[in-house]
Structure 1
Amino acid sequence: MSVAGIYSRKSLFTGKGESVKNQIDACQEYAAMKGWDSLVYFDEGFSGQNQNRPGFQQLLQDIDQGKIQHVIFYKLDRISRRMLDILEFIEKMNSKGIDFISITENFDTTTPLGRAMVHIAATFAQLEREMLQQRVRDNMIQLAKTGRWLGGIAPTGYTSKEMRFRDHQGKEKRKYILEGIPEELAVIEKIYTHYLKKKSLSQVEKYLLAQGFQTKNGGAFQKQTIRSILMNPVYVKADPRIFDYFRVLQSDIASPIEAFDGIHGLLTYNKNRKSGIKGTEPCDPEHWIVTVGDHNGIIDASDWIAVQKQISKNSKPGVPWKKSSHALLSGLLRCKYCGGPMIIRYGQKDKKNGHRFYYYVCQQKDLTGGAGCSNRNIRGDLLDQTVLETLVSLAPQPSQVKKILEKVESKFLNSKRNIISSNEDLNKQIHRNRKRIQQLLSKLERNIPDAAAKHIGERIEELDHHISELEKKMEHRKIVEQHPSMDLSPAILKGIRENVASIGHVVNSMESVEEKRRFVEGTVERILYHEGAVEIHLKKNAAVQ
């Protein structure tokens, strides 16, 4: 059964708003209506500005451990008062496929309105985030102009080393510089030498694979990695020719020409910028900050410039790459033996009908002529059909769908009846208490002793408080009953039944490879192949399981 994490928070010192108990009661009623078990997390006496709250941190820990499938809260600001914190929480929930629901604000990611609310929250939070990023960026740019290494993963061939020094006031300071790793720099020199000789990234990639050279992480050098190494100014022995090279590109050169001594390498900053919420894109060279570093370069300036010209020449626009018009599993199929992607290769034409079969081949095996991987090739049309048939077979059968929806409908109708019955009971209790208050007020109108009058007054206050609590419960149940996700009309049930039960028919009626590819990509996370065995890893929220 699904488990909902119910979170509630109240600042003890404000004395305002709904109590923690009332918040939790409302959320528990919602979870019960949905048929979910629930775990309660609460913080009292903690400000919404403080993320280090015990209950909230325990909720995050249980989410990471897979104990929670839904998160329910009374209002969005219970999570945090800061929009940036709310956005980060939302992104975390989205990445784990967890629904989060605000029962007082119609904030439910299972509904279109709820998803729209997510985007509104993201818009406001982005403003705060960008302002902070701009301040950080401005500070980093000023530090970059000093030539120090600002952190991050050091480029291949170097490691970062702490260096202590005294400033002009005699105070001890520290900074980080790059220090060479001889064995890695030897590989870098071979990459430059071989590229100048062959003028091809693919040829360099094959050479490195054949020689058994590996990256820092122990993997094979891919073309994109090789290209990044060849274009990185960190390796060049910066002399006046390099100064002129970047001056022509209109880069921001932070070091004077006298620092370009033909010994030290360069450091470049601001080469990428944010694009969208998560991605990055390269900046034009005119936005780069170029400075001479404290490390030594290894590539002569003339060779480095020649490499840049060759890469630019090879990068001229050609025919746009397109996915295979036949292969279904491009981008999803990987070799289980070595972990690399499997690519398309075509066989010889059939002499009788001119047809050419296509095969999935391990890229590592293809590049090394079989030396880098021994995984067997497989005919593409056969594997594509096998994967499609397997996915269709995993879809629920009509009889299964019918039983599941009957249980859902029964539980839903019982929940509705329980709400109605419970509200009737609450109304009766409220009516009885009001009637009792009227009786007690009638007694007060008589001439009774002061002690008795005091006792009656206290009893009236108790009954009035009880009425307030009952009315709050009724209001909470009304909120739950009216929530959009509680709408399970016959039309909705019919739509679910038809959509799920017809997956097999829909797939079989698809005519184009593109249609089938969209279905597979929407269902499958990745596919692993090794020696005739296929593993299909489905996405978490796939329609087939």
Structure 2
Amino acid sequence: MNRNIKNPKPATLPVVRCAVYTRKSTEEGLEQEFNSLDAQREAGEAFVASQRQEGWTCLPERYDDGGFTGGNMERPALQRLLADIEAGKIDCVVVYKVDRLSRSLLDFAQMMQTFDKHRVSFVSVTQQFNTATSMGRLVLNVLLSFAQFEREIISERTRDKIAATRRKGKWAGGHPLLGYDVDPRGFRLVVNEAEAVRVRAIFNLYLEHEALLPVVQELERRGWVNKRWTTRKGRERGGQPFERTSLYRLLTNVAYVGKVRYKDEVHDGEHPGIVDPADFQRVQTLLQRNGQTRGAPVRNKFGALLKGIIRCVPCDCAMTPSHTTRNGSKRYRYYVCSSAQKRGWNTCPSKSIPAAQIEEFVVGQIKCIGQDRALLAEVLAQARQQDGARTSELEAEQRSLEKDLTRWHAELRKLSCQLRPGDDNGSIISRLADLQERIGLVEGRMRKVREQIQTVQQQLLDEEETAVAMSVFDPVWEALTPREQARVIGLLVERVDYDGASGKVSITFHPTGIKALAQQLADQRREKTA
């Protein structure tokens, strides 16, 4: 009996949805038409195509991380990949090499748990294994251990190279510093003269205000910002307004005195310094003194008007306020040499001085400014000198900005002539837009610079007007609270030097402070007479 035997239908293979993940640690070469990420993906797609008979198919979604390290999981494409795995969209992950997915054994173990939980296999094209088998998982762990070992060796070599470079005084890379440019021909710092003037002005501002916040506010008023530079790809970086933290980093950077730092070591650098070492050291001393309060005003419990101002000449150190109480009620205030407190009273001829006596003398000298024409003329001469320095500083910045504008306008005209109808002008148009934005920013800054120059020139006070304004200081002083009096003293007096051996007291005034107070008193006087 004949039977018709029908061929059985082949069982339909389940579809294995494959996602190809690619990664490159740096951005170098990614702008090319066919880059490393494309090569990795092409290899992955070819491997998936070779397994088509097993039901494998490559998903169109690209998971490319260009410019991301494999030492952590903070990668956008990797996060999308894990999210799609948890959503059940992927059955297999394909990579060119194991270390493309991760160089951290701990991170990889965490990802493998996610893969196992959602029954997703993992395949490396060049290392010929599949985690669907026990042998594949064993080989994977061995390879990953070597990948992590390689990453740690590279990190150690990099740290050793940086250490050797710093110890030789060379620039070891990082963000450029305000006041310097990075020489592209040799990896070293060269002085940017226009910015160097600004850096020195910032140090002088801190020496004047002795606190971070007032300097930050002054820098904001002037429109000064952190270092602005252009990357090799033409991208603008930096140019952020100063904050207390960024200002502190600038003021403590030993690069400004021609040094380089590596951890706790300081070495002579190849680059020249742009800040006077004595000024740099004075700033460090002030920052250390203000360390606990980060430059904020310290409460003056007993009204010591000269706190932080008076110094002992023989010991070249500060004199600090102190007091004693007699009969349980009456308090006697003194300024005491801090060196004598530490080393013994016999080491210092100044030792101490009654606070009321020295404060009365200083206040009396301030009152004399409006009466002593010689002293007034000297103070105004110093103020004019500072105004002249400020004007020169602004004019130097103005010349630098004009130079940038001339260069950018020339480039703008040149690029405009290169535009051709019908051609791909994308890169030229992008550069033109970038130039227009830069020109607009610089022109805005130039307007502010011109306004600041005009303001400095308009604020010049003549001797007669200052004398009249300061003549009303006496009655105003008596009406101030102790806290307000201390603030005014800090505004007017830069330092008081006391020499106990000769009994001599020297006062150094803040010309800008006296000018500001005289301007304020003059304005008040005009308002009352108006």
Q: Tell me the TM-score range normalised by the shorter chain.
A: 0.3 to 0.5
Instruction: Report which of the two structures shows the higher radius of gyration computed on alpha carbons.
Output: 2
Give TM-score scaled by structure 1 length: 0.32
Using CA pairs below 8 Å that are at least 6 residues apart, which structure has the higher relative contact order? Answer: 1
TM-score (norm 2): 0.32
